[in-house]
Structure 1
Amino acid sequence: MPSANRTTIALAVTDGMLHFELALAYEVFGADLTDLIAPWYEVVLCGPNAVRVGRFRLEPDHGLDRLPHADTVIVPGWADVDEAPPADLVDAVRAAHEAGARIASLCTGAFVLAEAGLLDGRRATTHWAHTDVLAARFPQVEVDPDVLYVDNGSVLTSAGKAAAMDLCLHLVRLDHGSAAANTVARRLVVPPHRSGGQAQFVPAPVPTRNDHPLTELFPWVLERLDQPLTVEDLARRARMSSRTLTRHFHAATGTTPLQWLLTQRIRRAQELLETTSHSIDTIAASTGMGTATTLRRHFNRTLGVPPDTYRRTFHATRSDTP
């Protein structure tokens, strides 16, 4: 029976899984971070005997019958969406959901969840190249091809590759708060937050080169969130025009400089609300919002709750030191 604090993560594997999504999930949840975040996750690999994932042969820790005893079950990408996933995997995932486990699919793992009936009447996503197939095969599923991930509470789905990382960090954020998710993101050298509603496909890939024009800008901005930064300030720092900055920014993040900046201010406010007893006015100043009124307006519009309610929900349930 799943526990209340969602500490056990079961990775469901079988022949035909995509190794990238499996490795990504293990890297997020399987690293020993108990010295920083406690209690951290216990990760178990569940599958039918030895399985082949890509070119690798894996020996699972447990059989698929272990899935109903996990708090969260993660189903990595499924390589051949033209083939139905194994019935024993589908049955085990369905049984885990019925037992109360939270189920999350990465990339084309959504086809397993759909086959199990867990997406019926729900909004879901998968890799953009396969959303049409998912929608045609499972018409009872509301397929959204334009988002990174979808959170339905007990059932979550993500788009492909990098979006799978976004969903994994989202789960950490739900379980342990923004500060913990940002700690994991920093360790993995990835952006701390991209909202699930962000478009999953942009004309150019997210740059990873060290010589990219914005490589040094992002950390510079994050160190100055308490300041009233403008697009002109960012452009001046990046040594380019505002128009060129906006073009590079959209290619790198899928959004505008100001929207990205606002998102980072909101995330920093979440961290301070979770980990300190600072007043709303102090947090507003620390995040560059200026006034408590401005912070409350943006916070409520972004997260759906006022900062005071957010603090009562998350600060009181954590052992962070003010």
Structure 2
Amino acid sequence: MTPSCKTQLPHVAILIYPGISPFHFAVPYALFNTPLDGERLFHLALLSTTGSDIQAGPAVSIHADGTFEQLAQYDMVIIPGWADISVAPTPALTAVLQQAHANGTHLVGLCYGAYALAYAGLLDARSATTHWLASDDFLRRFPGVKLNSHALYIETDNLTTSAGTAAALDCCLNLVRRYHGSHVANQLARLMVVSPHREGDQAQFIQQPVATTTQDSRINQLLDYLHQHLASSQRIDHLAARCAMSRRSFTRHFFMATGKSLTTWLIDARLQQSCTLLENSHMSIDEIAECVGFANTRLFRHHFKLRFSLSPQAWRQTFRATE
């Protein structure tokens, strides 16, 4: 399939290559190839770096619909992982990626797929993320990239990068949300039995390496508690005692696990929950502010506008209009 022009349904291409992980491939393939109520959400094509079908492991063969030379003709191109992070894309693939970006194609590097974009020079001076396990290697190879190893996914200048496979799900759902609105994205998430929406700058705290495993486990248990008690006021001394840490130790380990201070994490978590309520409930702005734990509506509006550059009401109107 080679689209000759942009049509109502977005045209999405997944780049397939020798050594591709079937698991990494399956994430975008499932999200962008699954119909809802019998209707397709995207026109999907699989474009090969070799010009032929790809063998993904001993038992999986992926049929190619075309070749990488066609990438610039698509609305969005997804690179699911990268087989060898020490090997750059070929000069031909690099040139096509650069041309696609220049043409306005949205390029998405899932997990190690960020390496392909970085090797092509597309992430220079831009913010990006990848799996935390490769953070040191990525920084060494691409010092010009503003790496945020805590984020689940990052979008900048029509370029999107994500962390590991679970974060790739969040990233792809967010892309579905951009094209089709939160209602469709939530339906798809329920079909996949995954969380409908996590903000891209939410930390990779589940797999984020910290100095002591036991302390990381305590922080992760605390995050579960905080998610369940967002409406309650939280004091650092109380939470430190809950983790059996001193205030100073708790502050340090919380930042190591999440990449954020407790105050910043709480604000972000409360804003995330408020987006869900704005999109899917009929609660008033005042009720939402109280429900997610802001001291008053004025403070809620201030942080919401600062974070999203929209008022809560504008957010609600935008996403409900999209739906």
Q: How many angstroms apart in 2 are the aligned matches of 1:266 and 1:78? A: 33
Equivalent AA in structure 2 for residue 142 of structure 1: V
Pick from 7, 10, 13: which aligns with 1:7? 10
2:309 aligned partner: 304
1:238 aligned partner: none
Deviations 1:225-269 (Å, cap 9, x if unpaired)?
7xx44569xx9xxxxx8437x99x999988799877755543343
Q: How many angstroms apart in 2 are the aligned matches of 1:285 and 1:4? A: 43
Identity across matched positions, percent? 32
Pick from 269, 276, 300: which aligns with 1:295? 300
Q: How many angstroms apart in 2 are the aligned matches of 1:61 and 1:289? A: 51
Question: Are residues 1:188 and 2:193 paired?
Answer: yes
Pick from 34, 37, 40: which aligns with 1:35? 37
Q: How many angstroms apart in 1 are the aligned matches of 2:309 and 2:257? A: 27
Alignment of 1:130-145 (within 5 A): 130-139=134-143, 141-145=144-148
Equivalent AA in structure 2 for residue 305 of structure 1: L
Alignment of 1:169-318 (within 5 A): 169-186=173-190, 187-190=192-195, 192-196=197-201, 198-199=203-204, 201-203=208-210, 221=228, 228-229=231-232, 242-243=242-243, 263=268, 265-274=270-279, 279-284=284-289, 287=292, 289=294, 291-316=296-321, 318=322
CA drift of 1:16 comes to 2.6
Change in CA separation of 1:196 and 1:99 when aligned onto 2, cut-off 3 Å: same
1:18 aligned partner: 21
1:80 aligned partner: 84
CA RMSD of aligned residues (A): 4.1
Q: How many angstroms apart in 2 are the aligned matches of 1:251 and 1:190? A: 24
CA drift of 1:137 comes to 3.3
1:59 aligned partner: 63
Q: How many angstroms apart in 1 are the aligned matches of 2:255 and 2:187? A: 25
Q: Is this contact kept in 1: 2:131–2:149, CA < 8 A?
A: no
Change in CA separation of 1:258 and 1:125 when aligned onto 2, cut-off 3 Å: closer
Q: Is this contact kept in 1: 2:118–2:142, CA < 8 A?
A: yes
Q: How many angstroms apart in 2 are the aligned matches of 1:24 and 1:70? A: 19
Q: How many angstroms apart in 1 are the aligned matches of 2:225 and 2:79? A: 36
CA drift of 1:12 comes to 0.7
Question: Are residues 1:70 and 2:71 paired?
Answer: no
Consecutive unaligned residues of structure 1, counting only runs of 5 or more, are 236-240
Q: Is this contact kept in 1: 2:9–2:43, CA < 8 A?
A: no
Q: TM-score, normalization: structure 2? A: 0.72
Question: Are residues 1:113 and 2:117 paired?
Answer: yes
Equivalent AA in structure 2 for residue 17 of structure 1: I
Aligned with 1:315: secondary structure?
A: helix
2:247 aligned partner: none
Consecutive unaligned residues of structure 2, counting only runs of 5 or more, are 245-249
1:49 aligned partner: 52
Aligned with 2:66: secondary structure?
A: coil
Q: TM-score, normalization: structure 1? A: 0.73
Q: How many angstroms apart in 1 are the aligned matches of 2:221 and 2:279? A: 34
